[in-house]
Structure 1
Amino acid sequence: MESFFYSVNATAPVFLVILLGYILRRIGILDEHFVSVCNRFNFKITLPVMLFVQMTETSLRDNFSGGFVLLCAVITVLSAVGIWIGARIFLKDRHMVGAFVQAGYRSSVAVLGMALVTNIYGSGAVVPMMMVGSVPLFNVFAVLILTLEGPTHEESSLKENLLKAGKDIVTNPILLAILLGMAASWFEIRFPLMLERGMGYVADMAMPQALVCIGASFQGTEALKKIKPTLAVTFIKLMVLPGVFLPICVALGLRGEYLAAVLVMQGSPTTSTGYVMAENMGGDGVLASSAVVSTTVLSAFSLTFWVFLSRSFGLI
């Protein structure tokens, strides 16, 4: 019961902010123009700054484990590629593929990861290593998939699409922020206090704005038309991926904080960053926002199940 209430307390505030955005749009305080501008602002400014700050605040040099980072990277690649192949086979609407795949493998590790692991162990030292192994690849695959499955894909040659994907990857502000933050953390670069506070203020805007925009852009009628892919990607995100990779990690000898970090990486809700990227790169924004809402609501139950199961076997 304690695990259940913790999961609810971790996910309910996120859902409430999304609900606030939905209500504000319905009563006319927010409009489509605001959502469009805010999404662009989040994509180019607030989310990159937030991720940069989060990476600089972790101590990669002190807590680095190359084997665990590599394992997280391999799991991320297998998840993204596996879901991508499945989506290409089973989704009839090609426009949905990019958003579906991204919603399936990409987790809210920055928001929920540290909180969950710290709540269980009193320390979240392994979470930054998990983020190093997964978050850059989250973004690389997101750019690659959204570019190759985007609306201009069939109008261009494979070479043109690959060149565009490469350009989008090296110029993606979120990915650049993560890499710069990792470098700053590794070399222990410190910034003047006024700059740190300024970046902190901008970073604090990222998640609330992204969540409000998800709610404001959520289209109930359109979302109902896409209820089947939404439920499918939610099941994959919250149940299939943890069900596949947690036993593998246990067989490899992972226990305690390391296993909990993998659980967060695979079983936490779809990140709102994915919705922002889908909206800004021509993906299916309705499916992306629906996946964020559904995985956020249902993760309170699924995470409780996985934590309870792992604790029952003495694994975490």
Structure 2
Amino acid sequence: MNTIFPICLLVLLGYVLKKTEFISKTTQYEMNQLAFKILIPVNLMQSIIKTDINSVFNMKLIIFCIVSVLMIVLFSMMFVNKITSDKSKQGVIVQGLNRTNYVLLAIPICESLCGSDSIGVTALLVSIIVPILNLLAVLVLQYYSGGSKTIKQTIISILKNPMIIASIAGLLVQLLHIPIEGFVASVINKISSCATPIALIVLGATIELSNMKKNKNLIIIFNILKLMLIPIIVIFISVFIFNYKGIELASILVLFAGPVAVSSFPMAQSMGGDGKLAAEIVFTTTIMCLFTLFVWIVLLSSCHML
């Protein structure tokens, strides 16, 4: 609750700033570009750099999460055309169903549930899963953008994506043990700390309540899939087939039952997706998650699994 509630307040602030005309449409666009191209990538790179990969490496858990994410992408691409025929909306839905606000929520929630001693497991998962989620998001949005790019053009487009560049940079710093110290570390930290607040304020400024009425059915279906159906299936498999519990189950819970990633909104808007729908599903899943994630935590804790 203490982690998710401030997110809602920042989104609300953005909405109020837009309604009072404190933020213009031009400013919204410029702030969105700043968040997508600089702030969020630096935040992602920092989270990867900070992770001690060697001490908490869990191949079984990593493979389980990667396979689960790939299956969600596959099935959502198979059935999304039954929900909407609009390609720009299809890309946003497929991206949103497999992409959670993991960078922001995973460590604080898992630490509050399982303590700081075992949080390295979650931090490692963040450093590996988040770049994969970003790569899949770029591929999905590229696929549904309706362009006729060649394979070479698609690969170049992916490699030029700020989130992919940040992931590669972070992993290189980790693997090559490049020291990030002094004023460089300070600058990265300061830029990183701006990422989430600015992205959330821009998100709130993008929301149109009248437009949400038009997308009402899509939003309801999406929230049921994202916050109920997918978590039920993944957590059932996690508990009854793989016997995950404690920090491993907590990490899985946040990955598959958390709200849609804030970064999915600026990415969708910048890559030809329906930016308004992307903002709406981030907003609604974040609000609904206050209830659904709480229920999951109480349920699993009462069964002594967390």
TM-score between the two structures when normalised by the length of structure 1: 0.92
Moved over 6 A (4+): none
What's 2:294 paired with? 304
What SS class does the counterpart of residue 81 from structure 2 fall into?
helix
> Which AA in structure 2 matches 1:62?
S
> Partner of 1:238 in structure 2?
227
Q: CA deviation at 1:162?
A: 4.0
Counterpart in the other structure of 2:63: 70
1:79-94 to 2 correspondence within 5 Å? 79-94=72-87
Question: Does 2:222 correspond to 1:227?
Answer: no
- Cα separation, 2, equivalents of 1:98 and 1:35: 22
Matched, 1:102 2:95: yes
Q: 1:232 to 1:163 in 2, by over 3 A?
A: farther
Report the equivalent of 1:129.
124
1:116-147 CA-to-partner distances (Å, cap 9, x unmatched) read 10001112111123224421221111111111
CA contact (8 A) 1:59 1:186 kept: no
Q: How many Å separate the matches in 2 of 1:231 and 1:161?
A: 36
One of 262, 266, 282 as aligned partner of 2:256: 266
In structure 1, give the amino acid aligned to 2:88: H
Counterpart residue identity of residue 82, structure 1? F
The alignment status of 1:27 with 2:20, answered yes or no, reads: yes
Tell me if structure 1 keeps the 8 A contact 2:89–2:277. yes
TM-score (norm. length: structure 2): 0.95
Aligned partners of 2:70 and 2:126: how far apart in 1?
A: 14
Please state whether the residue corresponding to 1:259 is helix, strand or coil.
Answer: helix
Q: Deviations over 1:203-236 (max 9, x none)?
A: 1111011000001111111121001111111111
Tell me the residue number matched to 1:42.
35
Residue 211 of structure 1 is matched in structure 2 by 200
Tell me the equivalent position of 1:4: none
CA contact (8 A) 2:138 2:158 kept: yes
2:143 maps to amino acid: L
Structure 2 residue aligned with 1:143: 138
> How has the CA–CA distance of structure 1 residues 54 and 61 changed in structure 2, closer, same or farther, with 3 Å as cutoff?
same
Q: Percent identity?
A: 26
Shift of 1:163: 3.8
Say whether the 8 Å CA contact 2:51–2:124 is kept in structure 1.
Answer: no
CA distance in 2, matches of 1:80, 1:148: 12
Is the 8 Å Cα contact of residues 199 and 263 (structure 2) preserved in structure 1? yes
Where do 1:147-226 residues align within 5 Å? 147-150=142-145, 152-153=146-147, 156=148, 160=149, 162-226=151-215
1:300 is aligned with what amino acid?
Answer: L
RMSD: 1.4
Distance 2:303 2:48 in 1: 33
Q: State how many pairs are aligned.
A: 303
The range that moved more, 83-92 or 190-199, is 83-92
Deviations 1:1-58 (A, max 9, x none): xxxxxxx222110010000001001111101101111111111111111111111111
CA distance in 1, matches of 2:21, 2:94: 32
For 1:53 and 1:266, the matched residues in 2 are separated by 23
Q: Distance in 1 between matches of 2:246 and 2:54?
A: 21
Are the aligned partners of 2:68 and 2:234 in contact in 1 as well (CA < 8 Å)? Answer: yes
Gaps of 5+ in 2: none
Taking the aligned partners of 2:174 and 2:112, their CA distance within structure 1 comes to: 24
Please list every run of 5 or more consecutive structure 1 residues that lacks an aligned counterpart in the other structure.
Answer: 1-7
